[in-house]
Chains A and B, each alone.
Chain A
Amino acid sequence: MTVPATVAELVRQFRANGRIVIVGASLAGLRAAEALRAEGFTGSVTIIGDEPYEPYDRPPLSKQVLKGWVPADHTKLPRLREVNAQWRLGVTATGLDRAAKQVRLADGEQIPYDRLLIATGTRARQWPNPDEAALEGVYSLRSRDDAAQLQKALAAPPSRVVVIGAGFIGSEVASVCRELDLPVTVVERGSAPLVGALGGVIGEIAAEMHRDHGVDLRCGLGVSSLEGDSGGHVRRAHLSDGTTVDADVVVASLGSIRNVEWLEGAGLASGFWGVGCDAGGRAFDINGVVTDSIYVAGDVARSPHVLYEYQFLAMEHWDNAVLGAEAAAHNMVNLEPHYRPHLLLPGFWSGQFGLNIKSVGVPPFGDEIVFTQGSVKERRFAAAYGRRGRIVAAVAFDHGKWLEYYGKLIEQSGPFPPPPPGWDHPPDMKPIPAEFPQPGVPTAIPDVVLTGHDPSERGAEFRPRPR
């Protein structure tokens, strides 16, 4: 048999009888499994999830579920097709043995694979002081259980809620509290809400929104400690300016941590920012060499984006999970030259204070912003972000139907400022600094060192610095 014929036969056999393991039973994991079946893969699919639940949808958790409109257990994701998978739910993956091609589970079992998809996502960063985090009334919001508990606490109702951190989750929680007519204090270290994602100019608008809706917003401040009562229930938050806020519910919305610990020692390019992979979802090993059998998708994936100077971007967006999973699944059952890139123009949405916020592109990649449509005063507008004369992102407040226009400009590396709209433009269309904070110094990246003397032996390994 010729080499190509042999390869074709191997592909055929793999599609018929291969073993694929997906770690992560969430949106990306489920959509990947469905895509594998759609691609005609008839081998075994095993899906491992640390929660006891079938994959569910997260966007409703911080909105409809918290408001009490929808119970937390009614967020199960619809199935697009039969996946015919072996589900291993309620058990955590604890290790990866690449040589033996096995995933180790917390219950001691080893699951063999021919191809592996890592879709372990992120988890909520907990309040750093474990004793304080354990107080009753202290919550974070990431999972279905988190949402169910927090919803119950908000329905109690509490006398005041303190939200630590005014990113998207924190802002949405604050918004829900106001809709439920609960007094709420938001404490944000940055100069305004949403500054990390959308910059200081938009952050100022978000801050006004909070205040107009009766949120007690305290920016430029941190929470130094939480104080509980003798019954172990949180009662007070101490702020970094020496003031205190009495509250019986505290929501720590401190961002997310990527679930990569289980990959320690596996020799993959994984760390604080996620698991590095190419634009086709193929994981890099620690040397920066692409692997053949390991793929990454969803929040935990970090891949170069052609539009953003090939920077490695990790995107915690809903459509990134879906489309990244589909691309990875396609590539898992195909060979070059039939690989497909995952070249998503990032986008996200949020609902808060009765308003729809949407964005396309990567706003923090820009350094300038220009308001192009609508009225900031009326809080219905579109604005574009630019960098060196090129449009790189756009954001819309109650103006989402226009984002397609900006998306097209971004994809085509259109000019910044963009061509002006024909009507409804703000009086002043001058670009101004977008005011993103300087990128912080990552705190937990392990050091990588080169090993070996002979060029043929050169390799890399992690040498975490003792902290």
Chain B
Amino acid sequence: MVEETPWQQALRYANRANPYPFYEELRRTPVARQPDGSYVVSTYREVVQLLHDPRVTSDQRKRPDTPSNPFEATIITEDPSEHDVDRRRMMRHFAPPECPQTIADFEPEIRRVFGELLNDMKGKTRVDFVDEFAFPGPVTVICKVLGVPLESIPRFHGWIEAALDGLDFGPEANDPEQQRRTAAVPDQVAEFRQFLAGLIDQYRKQPGPGMFSGMVNDGGPEGLSQQSIVRNAMLMLFAGHETTVNLIAHSVLNLLRHPDQLEKLRRRPELIVPGVEELLRFESSVQFWPTRSALEDIEIAGTTIPKGAPIFLAYGSANRDPERFENPDRLDLERPDNQHVGYSQGIHYCFGAPLARLEAQTAVGEFVRRVQNPRLVEDPPPYRRNQIFRGPRHVWVDIDGIRD
């Protein structure tokens, strides 16, 4: 049997809870060629450099092999100028300069949502902080931001889960069990698309609250096509909560693993802002991104990435690079100069980051303030299958109660 590369080992499901020792090994070769001809970039400096390199494309149609991807022809798989125009068309319904107040106006709602989830835990002694907190919070918020009825959450949640389980970038992709999951993906994506197309049609006939309605009824010269709206709507509904769910779940998990940091945050609640940045660095919500490839030969860190080669930028590893972050495996809520790549950089920098930060700050802050004597039940907890959107399936916690 051929020995697996550190990258392949990091992607194995058995290592999902702790891929970091493999990342460490991986970083010894900052730009590492894999047996399938792809290149994995794992060091901070090189990741940042390629995020700004206009010879790197995000458009999979420009690759010799065109892998299937549920997010094809959305802003994250487009290059300029297409990308710039489409992103702007969406941004104008969400953020400054046209909508400077959207996110700030949601703050009371975010506070209320997470506050109620904690109220619902009153009287319990054991809580799953994924199913009862980290998931329902962000998904409720994104539905309200976008204008998706809350009743439909269980339906699209199922499709998204199945689609995520079917995407495997590791050596287990060819296992029969995984092949079965992968085979289910197109149907799930089609149903998800159908659902959103219906919703968007409805908004076209009768405008309502939220971004989707705004995008459909944008009378400006830069309107989006129906197909483009549906594809990007899928992206936003999915990306608008999935990563925040994992961030909040990981934050709870890591604070309970580091009682000194939890205590510090309890004593000094103002540390929540740098604290969430550190939690983002510590467990990147997006561990790596797989749609990039080289349009030219690119010389970097002593290696030449040949034209056409797929490039995986490993954010999760870059954020633990000791060349950039002192003692990277230590959780330090007061870490100075914490310019992590948890939300990427460059033109594909996370569109929803300001909203996600506000949600995580609120959720984690309220968790620390209100949950009495929390104790991890299972460590490590069970993990979800997907490697990109890596997160625990459950985080069981024993608690003494919920403060008001």
Interface residues, chain A, with chain B CB atoms under 8 Å away: 372-375, 378, 380, 401-405, 408, 419-424
Given contacts A419-B296, A422-B295, A422-B296, contact A404 B81 (CB under 8 A): no
**B52 is an interface residue with CB less than 8 A from chain A:** yes
Residue of A nearest to B78 (CB): A423
Checking B49, B57, B349 against A422 with a beta-carbon cut-off of 8 angstroms, the contacting residue is B57
**B53 is an interface residue with CB less than 8 A from chain A:** yes
Residue of A nearest to B59 (CB): A423
Which residues of chain B are near A419, meaning CB under 8 Å?
55, 296
> Which residues of B, 55-103, contact A by the 8 Å Cβ criterion?
55-57, 59, 62, 79-81, 84
**B380 is an interface residue with CB less than 8 A from chain A:** no
Interface residues, chain B, with chain A CB atoms under 8 Å away: 48-49, 51-57, 59, 62, 79-81, 84, 295-296, 345-347, 349
Rounded to whole angstroms, the CA-CA distance of A50 and B59 in the bound complex is 56
Which residues of chain A are near B84, meaning CB under 8 Å?
380
Rounded to whole angstroms, the CA-CA distance of A374 and B79 in the bound complex is 11
Residue of A403, A421, A423 most packed against chain B (CB within 10 A): A423
Given contacts A401-B349, A404-B346, contact A423 B296 (CB under 8 A): no
Q: Is the CB of A422 within 8 A of B346?
A: no
Q: In the assembled complex, how far is the CB of residue B229 from the closest CB belonging to chain A, in whole angstroms?
A: 23
Which residues of chain A are near B56, meaning CB under 8 Å?
422
Rounded to whole angstroms, the CA-CA distance of A422 and B80 in the bound complex is 10
Majority-rule SS of B interface residues: loop
Q: Is the CB of A401 within 8 A of B81?
A: no
Which residues of chain A are near B48, meaning CB under 8 Å?
404
Which residues of chain A are near B52, meaning CB under 8 Å?
401-405, 408
Q: Is the CB of B295 within 8 A of A423?
A: yes
Rounded to whole angstroms, the CA-CA distance of A189 and B295 in the bound complex is 45
Q: Is the CB of A423 within 8 A of B49?
A: no
Residue of B nearest to A425 (CB): B54
Rounded to whole angstroms, the CA-CA distance of A419 and B295 in the bound complex is 11
Rounded to whole angstroms, the CA-CA distance of A408 and B298 in the bound complex is 14
Rounded to whole angstroms, the CA-CA distance of A402 and B51 in the bound complex is 9
Rounded to whole angstroms, the CA-CA distance of A372 and B52 in the bound complex is 14
Checking B51, B54, B349 against A423 with a beta-carbon cut-off of 8 angstroms, the contacting residue is B54
Majority-rule SS of A interface residues: mixed
Given contacts A419-B296, A421-B55, contact A401 B346 (CB under 8 A): yes
Rounded to whole angstroms, the CA-CA distance of A375 and B295 in the bound complex is 20
Q: Is the CB of A374 within 8 A of B55?
A: no
Rounded to whole angstroms, the CA-CA distance of A420 and B59 in the bound complex is 17
Q: Is the CB of B80 within 8 A of A408?
A: no
Rounded to whole angstroms, the CA-CA distance of A378 and B295 in the bound complex is 24
Which residues of chain A are near B345, meaning CB under 8 Å?
401, 404
Q: Is the CB of A421 within 8 A of B346?
A: no
Rounded to whole angstroms, the CA-CA distance of A433 and B346 in the bound complex is 29
Which residues of chain A are near B62, meaning CB under 8 Å?
422
Given contacts A374-B80, A374-B81, A404-B48, contact A421 B54 (CB under 8 A): yes
Q: Is the CB of B346 within 8 A of A375?
A: no
Q: Is the CB of B346 within 8 A of A423?
A: no
Which residues of chain B are near A422, meaning CB under 8 Å?
54-57, 62, 79, 295-296
Residue of B nearest to A382 (CB): B54
Known contacts A402-B52, A422-B56, A422-B62; 4 further A-B pairs (Cβ under 8 A):
A378-B81, A423-B54, A424-B80, A424-B81
Q: In the assembled complex, how far is the CB of residue B76 from the closest CB belonging to chain A, in whole angstroms?
A: 15
Which residues of chain B are near A423, meaning CB under 8 Å?
54, 57, 59, 79-80, 295
A-B contact pairs, 6 of them (CB 8 A): A372-B54, A378-B81, A401-B52, A402-B54, A402-B347, A422-B57
Rounded to whole angstroms, the CA-CA distance of A404 and B57 in the bound complex is 16
Rounded to whole angstroms, the CA-CA distance of A109 and B48 in the bound complex is 52
Residue of A nearest to B50 (CB): A405
Q: Is the CB of A405 within 8 A of B81?
A: no
Q: In the assembled complex, how far is the CB of residue A326 from the closest CB belonging to chain B, in whole angstroms?
A: 12
Q: In the assembled complex, how far is the CB of residue B17 from the closest CB belonging to chain A, in whole angstroms?
A: 34
Rounded to whole angstroms, the CA-CA distance of A405 and B53 in the bound complex is 6
Checking A372, A378, A408, A424 against B49 with a beta-carbon cut-off of 8 angstroms, the contacting residue is A408
Residue of A nearest to B298 (CB): A419
Which residues of chain B are near A424, meaning CB under 8 Å?
54, 79-81
A-B complex: 4 closest residue pairs judged by Cβ atoms: A422-B295, A421-B54, A404-B52, A424-B80
Rounded to whole angstroms, the CA-CA distance of A456 and B295 in the bound complex is 64
Checking B54, B79, B80, B349 against A405 with a beta-carbon cut-off of 8 angstroms, the contacting residue is B54
Checking B55, B59, B295, B347 against A401 with a beta-carbon cut-off of 8 angstroms, the contacting residue is B347
Which residues of chain B are near A372, meaning CB under 8 Å?
54
Residue of B nearest to A372 (CB): B54
Q: In the assembled complex, how far is the CB of residue A204 from the closest CB belonging to chain B, in whole angstroms?
A: 22
Rounded to whole angstroms, the CA-CA distance of A404 and B345 in the bound complex is 10
